[in-house]
Amino acid sequence: MKKITFILFTLSFTVGFSQNITVNESFTPQQLVQKLVNSGCVSISNFSVSGGNFASGELSYGYFNANGSSFPFQEGILLSTGKINSAVGPNSNFSDDGNNIGWTGDSDLNSALGLSNTFNATTLEFDFVPNANNISFEYIFSSEQYLLNPLPNQCNFTDGFAFLLREASTTSYQNLALIPNTTTPVRVNTVRGSGTICPSANEAYFDTFNTGNYPTTYDGQTKILTAQSVVTPGTLYHIKLVIADEGNGRFDSGIFLRAGSFISEKDLGPDRLIATGNPLCNNEVLTLNATQAGVTNYQWYQNGNPVGTNNPTFNVTTAGTYSVEIDINTTCTLTGSIEIEYAPNLVVVKDNFKVCDTNTDGLAAFDLATLKTQIFSNLPANFTVELFDSTTSTTPLPSTFTNTTPFQQIIYARITNIQNCYGNIPITLKVNVFSQTFNDESIGICNNTPTNLNAPSGFSSYSWNTNPIQTTQSITVSNAGTYIVTITNTDACSKTKTFTVVTSEVATITNIDVTDFDENLIATISVTGSGNYEYSLDGINFQNSPVFNLPDSGEYTIYVNDKNNCGLVSETFYALSYPKFFTPNGDNYNDTWQIKNLEKKGLENSKINIFDRFGKLVKQIKAGGTGWNGTFNGNQLFSSDYWFVLELTNGKTVKGHFSLIR
């Protein structure tokens, strides 16, 4: 029993999945047109149909029904370039009837599509009088030429069809079978899906390539398309629906027309949508006009709800779908609808733009191109922004603009869509001033001893050029280098302060050079070391120069201090000179003449020869001795000038003279 149940289920499933359309060739031309129109708002007459003359008596036109299948239309009319019986699925069949028997093409179709070699034409024609200013009907174009595995030359196979409309009193046709919003006719090579070697085209309007279980034999089809035209109410029109093979009779094509879809409706104008770039402007009022001659009662609806007015016009102030019903007579109620959207209110990311002034005058250059990007980053397509200094100005501001009002100024962003709807949004330009100034510093560190670098306090943020970046007010460093801190205040303005850190150390005194015996005694101190040094002879008063003018000969101490507090060193030195006079009078003051401190400089073995003015040697003394007492052979010499020659042990000789005074 379980096995039987399974088999029955499978058979039931297969039958349900394999439903195909059915066709009926018994309908008269009038009955076919009545199936298509089925509206009291369109008067129809003068029906005719023509097509293939098959020996079997089968026709290339007739009625179809979806028969519970997945075909998009429940019922309607089928016009084909072959037998409509051959259009019945499944798709495993092949509709190729036109290749076995040929009949003529259609000259009107040739003219409409620019063709010259059509044949196997099927046409349905009738006259009609519309009660409204617009007619439309729905159709699907199907063809065996939508091959899943075409040969390269088969990509050019394309049967032709057209829906030709004219006023009955004229001869010039208008083709309604066009790709939406274009003048391109719908054909196999103008609407095709991707997935084969043939190039795709207008793929948005292609539905599917059909496979084995599809309810028709055609290998592919378009989506549901709408043919429509503006017409004049009460005017007699003639319409011709025609399809034909072109070039060869292989691979039949068919037009499916939805039953009851041919309607006359009130045209309220194109939909006003954001997607199509034509929404209404903010606060714009659109007047819908449904005026119909001889009619006084109109019913308006918004989103399906009555709005309580029976006027022929209606003012739209909010978005929605608006429709109208117009009672023409007992058999005709005209309808019309339109969808309305309003351009969105722009969400401004921010309504102010700040820059920092490099001085304090409150004037700064603003990059308005960047401003537009930052403030209006969410601007929809088809909108433009220009900036003006007032709401009435017609001259846009330049991309770089310096405010004319110090510190703060309002400009206006004029936002315009393609309908020239515009609005003015005030934008505040603000100039922030960083008034504080910072002096750079040079700091020494002793033998890589860590030291703190302290930025000024009281600011919003700090950023040091260290790796990694440090964001504290103070940082500790151990290495020499240039440290830059960016200081930012509460207005997001920044300044920098530079710390130059150098390595420092205690000085090493390498030489003290003294101009001994010169008229001007000068001491020059030489040191080594990486520090920044200052010099002093008393350890209290320091100078930057290592050169000193000495007041007299004698013993001195030089002090060398590292300005970065790494340490102080000192060294004693001696400046040599000779007395310019002496007074040997027994008062124990300047009673002898001697050159002092020679021994302090390692010159203790130097000799001093003293001569009178006649060049006579009167005394030879040694460094470090008691000196000369002004006598010669025990006798006091007269007051006079005397000369000396100092023979230094380093090989140098110093000469000079002095006075003996009694």
As a whole number of angstroms, the distance between CA 356 and CA 496 comes to 14
The residues pairing with 611 across neighbouring beta strands, listed in sequence order, are 617, 643
Helix/strand/coil percent split, the chain, to 5? 10, 45, 50
Angle (CA) 308-309-311 rounded to 5° is 170
> What is the overall mean pLDDT for the chain?
89
CATH topology of domain 581-660: Immunoglobulin-like (2.60.40)
pTM recorded for the entire structure: 0.57
Residue 440 gets which letter from DSSP?
A: -
- C-alpha 500, offset from chain centre: 39
- Considering all CA atoms of the chain, what is the largest pairwise distance in Å, rounded to the nearest integer? 177
Looking only at the bridges linking them, the beta strands covering 352-357 and 422-433 are parallel
244 vs 48, 95, 123, 208, 521, CA distance in Å? 17, 14, 9, 22, 126
Alpha helix segments (H runs only) across 251-302: none
Beta bridge mates, 118: 246
Question: Residue ranges of the chain with pLDDT lower than 50?
Answer: 1-17
- What does DSSP assign to residue 367? E
Residue 79's DSSP bridge partners are 61, 255
DSSP three-state, residue 547: strand
How many whole angstroms separate alpha carbon 301 and alpha carbon 339? 12
Reading the block at residue 181, the tokens are 């919003």
How many CA atoms within 13 Å lie on the side-chain side of 191? 27
Q: Decide: 486 and 508 in contact? Cβ < 8 Å.
A: no
Domain covering 441-504 assigned CATH 2.60.40.10 in the classification:
yes
CA angle 596, 600, 603 (to 5 degrees): 80
CA distance 387 to 280: 23
Superfamily of chain region 266-340: Immunoglobulins (2.60.40.10)
Q: List, by residue range, all CATH 2.60.40.10 domains of the chain.
A: 266-340, 441-504
Report the CATH fold assignment for 352-433. Answer: Immunoglobulin-like (2.60.40)
Residue 95, pLDDT score = 60
Per-residue CA distances from 113 to 158, 162, 278, 413 (Å): 12, 8, 32, 50
Instruction: Give the per-residue pLDDT at 122.
Output: 97
Question: Please, what's the b/e burial string for 302-314 (b: 16 or more CB within 10 A of its CB; e: otherwise)?
Answer: beeeeeeeeebeb
Structure tokens, 397: 């501001």
Task: Fold for 508-575, please state it.
Answer: Immunoglobulin-like (2.60.40)
> Which residues share a beta bridge with 387?
413
**pLDDT for position 360:** 83
Residue in 231, 230, 225 with CA at minimum distance from that of residue 258:
225
